[in-house]
Structure 1
Amino acid sequence: MSDALINSLVAAVEARPDDLTLRLHLAEMLVAAGRGAEAIGHAAAILAREPGDAAARGLMTRALGGVPPEPEKPQAAPAVSDAEAAPRAGFDWAAMEEQFGDSVPPRFARADGQPDPVRGHDDRAFDVERSVVTLADVGGMADVKKRLEVSFLAPLRNPQLRTLFGKSLRGGMLLYGPPGCGKTFLARAVAGEMGAAFLSLSITDVLHMWIGSSERNLHDLFESARGHAPCVLFLDEIDALGHKRSQLQSSMRTVVNQLLTELDGVDGGNDGVFVLAATNAPWDVDAALRRPGRLDRTVLVLPPDGPARAAILEYHLRDRPVAGIDLAAVAAATEHYSGADLAHLCETAAEYAMRDSIATGEVRMINQADMLAAAREVRPSTDAWFSTARNVAMFANESGEYDDLAAYLKKRRIR
């Protein structure tokens, strides 16, 4: 038996791990070459997907030494007789599964129709956190907080009323708005308010080069969230993961389909999983993701208002040497700035003070002049986003889903 041929098949199986026919052929060749120990893992992988596969069961028996290897055949894998397919009397399959279980790759779905056990905190390292921030730490955003209270928080705090009104502890909300305005921080605050686990998911956690692996990753992430319920599952940049399928290649369309399946839940398995998704481009999100029962509530997250800007500035100056700074005046000079813009403004003001300290040889504090000079240099990054959003609100708002955005643009007189 040529080792080169076997090595080629090993590479092919690694590239196509879900091709059970190819894996079975490789295992047959390994057994014929006297490499039964290697064949055991492949046979176990097949039986994990198809427990009733007679060929795989017979192959496992032969690999374990129950039947001597058959002569090599040039074409297809040899047929397995009923005698070979039957396990040896008294053979301890449970012990073999325990011994060789590590060689079985993560399953996408059990062949017997039963749900997978939750393995997120055992087999894979998902960053399940316990948030220490609450909504009290979020400045402003009164309308957003009100929507979150009605949708998620009030039903959780009032189980009797929840039962009376038939309110389910499941659902999804899409947070959209310009970048840097605190969508991720808000999601963490919701988790902290609920005392729930927090699991953040981005496209890099899902996508994999091998076909089928991305869908399996997505399934495993949702299973981890279900296993840690109550849990806030945060889907960051949902427009990248759930882009319009009409604009995607077939491989990415299956990922979006898998996301839809996970949002629907399996046998009500999403109870206690609160899905919050964030995007800067809601118009690129597949419409199916926003149907009832999925991400069916949409909330606009706007740049922070005056009091919120003052709170953000104070937060970013808390560990810096400052003197004589009027936060209200700086906040008034930074209208339409995002939270990220304000953080950059504080960094720029610190650079001014440090530069002068180096030039004069005397350390001085960050003062009001530094803050106002930084405000003139750092311009709000949200203007570009609102220019794009304006076209959507004016020409693609037939369903009324962007009415909040249109009202805000009218208030700012962006036409």
Structure 2
Amino acid sequence: MVGTWEGTETHYAGTCALRLEVGADSARLTSYVKCGNDTDFSQYSVDLVTEVACTGDYSGFYHADIMGKSYCHSFVLDPISGNLTTKWHLGPRSDECSRVEEASLAIDLVVNSLAPTGGQASVESMLCQPRQVPGEFAGQWAGQERFSKPCSETGRVTTTGEACAFPFTFDGVTYTNCTTAQDVRPWCSLTSEFLGFWGYCADPVPAGECVDGQAVVECQMSMVVRDSGKDGMLVSNFDACHGAAALSITETVFDAVTEGECFEKDGQPVSTGLLKAYSDREFCYRFERHGSILRMAYSPTFFSNRKHHICPEDMEISPTTAVVEMALLPPISTGLPDVKTGGWLCNQPPGPLPLAITGDTSPSPTAMAPLLPPAVVAERPPPAVPPPWGPAPSPVPPMVPAPLPAPAPLPALLPSPASPPPSQPPR
């Protein structure tokens, strides 16, 4: 996003001309707008970027503080035209990135369509793009993933650890246990009178396995990094486990750092650090390569705080951290060579990872052409069965900072229903 950009900002009240300035060494984005009969641009806002998460090639989210309030923005850079599209919303919970993707919030949505006018960064320096996987990960691996899940011996908590409110009344019927009313999975209300706040029920666990409301689950998995990691791809395969279907995920590595030089422990080389990758979201892995053993810790996506892009502080299993431990399979059986310690990241000079060798011949983003906002892509398809709360109410946008015109009167805002927890395995 570095450079100067010009284009339009479109929202429920109309369209204004927009100019955006982003310095190469600054966390500030300065916006200037020109609306209606204005003849000159005037400063609209200065955004302080606090967090960035990549979700795809040249795309992702960033959080920015605007006038003391946090907003999540999505961004997509077209590498062919060089045009930039950003989106954010004015409604409740403006700091939640998932809200930017929800089509029902179109009345709250602000879309910025921008073309480069100067000072753009080189493609090589851009953050969200494939880079070669560090040598510590090369080869084929097999082992287990262990994570902690909310539990109770009766199943009377949700998959996110919230207590069910039994008995509760929904649609005129009183329930004393989890129900599949208007859904295919058992769920419960979080209030005695259903107000739209609910969650899917956690599976009951045998007596003694639920400790302090948490049960440790172990699942088999494997991982492969081909061609010594030059293509930037990290492929993980998860076996069917605890009611979840088998799953294969391909992630793109875009950043990694080590916590110092390689060292030895028990006569084996050791490398520790952080690895960042994205699929349709960003993950941060804390890793330790010790001889032929690889351990990784990360935050799974089934937690409601959606902080899977935040790097774990340690490698201990907790309600928000899963730990993977795998052994390197012999190259003679996999045909994939192990990268010797001389090629490990901890033995390389500091700096960004080399760009991946993918065969992509897209030109550098230097052309200047109109860009239509791309269609919003949801993280997962909508449920086949309507959720129990019915259609979501239309939220009322708050007052828009000047110089945008005041919004037309809208209906009063009803309480927003809680978002259903993901039904995917712990990824």
- TM-score class normalised by the smaller sequence: under 0.3
Considering only CA atoms, is the larger Rg found in Structure 1 or Structure 2?
1
Q: Relative contact order (alpha carbons < 8 A, sep ≥ 6): 1 or 2 greater?
A: 2
Q: Which has the higher strand share?
A: 2
TM-score computed with the length of structure 1 as normaliser: 0.26
